[in-house]
Amino acid sequence: MDPLVDLTALELASALRRRELGVVEVTTLALSRAETVGAAVGAFTTLAPERALARAESAQRRIDRDEGAVLTGVPTAIKDLEPTRGVRTTLGSAVFAEWVPDVDDVVVDSMDDAGLVWIGKTTVPELGAACYTEPEGAAPARSPHDLERSAAGSSGGAAAAVAARVIPLSQGSDTAGSLRSPASACGIVGLKPSRGLLTGGLAGHDGLGLSTKGPLALSVRDAAALLDVLADAPPVGSIHPPRRTGFLAACDEEVPRLRIAVAAESVSGTAIDPLVAAAVDDAAELLAALGHIVSTVSQPTDPVFVEAFSDLFSALAAAKPVPADADARLRPIVRYLRARGRGLDGGAMAASALTVQASAGRWAERFRDADVVVQPTITRLPAHVGELRDDGDPAGELAAMTAFTGNTILANATGFPAISLPLGWTHDGIPIGVMLTARWGCDDLLLALSAQIERAAPWRHHLPRTLVSQHPHPEGIA
């Protein structure tokens, strides 16, 4: 038995509490897989074995004293956009290649407090400003289901690590789909929580309400358990409290009969790949079979909204604190976004913000009769590595990224919770994510429905064939 292949995070935590497995053993196995399988998928920028093993020993002591939390001892990772004390944090950029922070971000403290054992920093695009993960100085993050395809971004390394069974869950973040797009490309679960549920950490709120931390996991229940950990952080900037009885508990509750709206089009106007559209149709049929009321509602194209959202995304890229003499060392797409953002005066920024707010309001009004909206996560199958990057035409690259991500920006604009579930698979094993969006603050309902779907159409048997066939049972624990 390979605990990283055969067990979810919660199952692994349970085995640790029963003393059937040791935390140090499992951590050692995860570090070994990170160096082999993790390297093959470009999952990590930096590994921290000494820190991880010390934390593993501490977690084992907590378990031995019966003081462990739900996920104590489970191996995980931190996205390389989050500061980690004493551990290199590159932000995916050559400019920060040697930066070693002297403080941990709040999200790191929360995961440490819960007894999770993070083994390293997961790969990100430069400053998180792309929907593919191909940073300078590090290997590109690849989908473990097809190594020629990108793991998407910006949480691409985290999604690749989880999908490749190096770790069962990981922390990520999302400004324009950066949790959900990688989840779709890698065949796992990615949840963007409601606006204000989680603290923004050391960086605070982005000022526009677009960004949030969130979980990536093999299963819905694992994602819910990690959300409980993240929601337990000090409520810096939070605007409503987490669910009192826990998000994991919500996964076991009876799901009422819900009104489900299916919107198969993209707000960007991008044509939806027929295989992706078929996965959405299959999800709708499954929801109807589960007893929910399913109807079709069109998703209008809104180029004005997409352009205004791109303005705000560019402004956030421009706001990143980069040394003045280092701009020339940034990737062309990052330089383009920063120049675009800096070119917006106060009036233009206000106009873009108001446009995004108005469009978000219209979207919410259009789907006001639905408890949950079902849409494609991304508009097509995962892009091939290098396909979206265009250093010679960064404006064209931004347009290509916008076309690829499609509807993910809607939940960042509305602040609604949205989750990508791996409900579609091609005949050769390429995953297709389907996105479910609930109303603001209804993260518990969204997780309950997602858990119901997973029970009806489980995906655990979809192992990444390109890797598991080569490493069916890595040495370490049998």
- What angle do helix axes 49-64 and 23-40 make, rounded to 10 degrees? 150
Are 77 and 170 within 8 A, CB to CB?
yes
CA-based nearest residue to 122, from 216, 58, 234, 252: 216
* Peptide bond preceding 170 in cis form (omega within 30 of 0): no
CA angle 115, 245, 57 (to 5 degrees): 10
Residue 160 C-alpha from the chain's centroid:
10
- The residues, ordered by sequence, that sit 6+ positions from 413 with a Cβ below 8 Å of its Cβ are 210, 305, 309, 356, 357, 359, 360, 363
**Among 217, 235, 233, CA closest to 225:** 217
Catalytic one of 150, 155, 178, 450: 178
Any idea which residue has 């709206």 for tokens? 261
The closest alpha carbon to 217, from 90, 73, 74, belongs to: 74
* From 93, 110, 143, 154, the catalytic residue: 154
Question: Quick check: is 178 catalytic?
Answer: yes
With contact defined as beta carbons under 8 Å apart, do 468 and 5 qualify?
yes
Residue 376 parent element (H or E): strand 372-376
Contact 311, 349 (CB under 8 A): yes
Sheet containing 189-192: give its strands across.
169-174, 212-217, 189-192, 418-425, 431-438, 372-376, 259-262, 293-296
Residue 320 zone, left/alpha/beta (φ > 0; ψ -120 to 50; rest): beta
Cα–Cα distances (Å) from 98 to 21, 66, 89, 91, 95, in that order, read 36, 39, 8, 10, 8
Q: Annotated catalytic sites, by residue?
A: 79, 154, 178
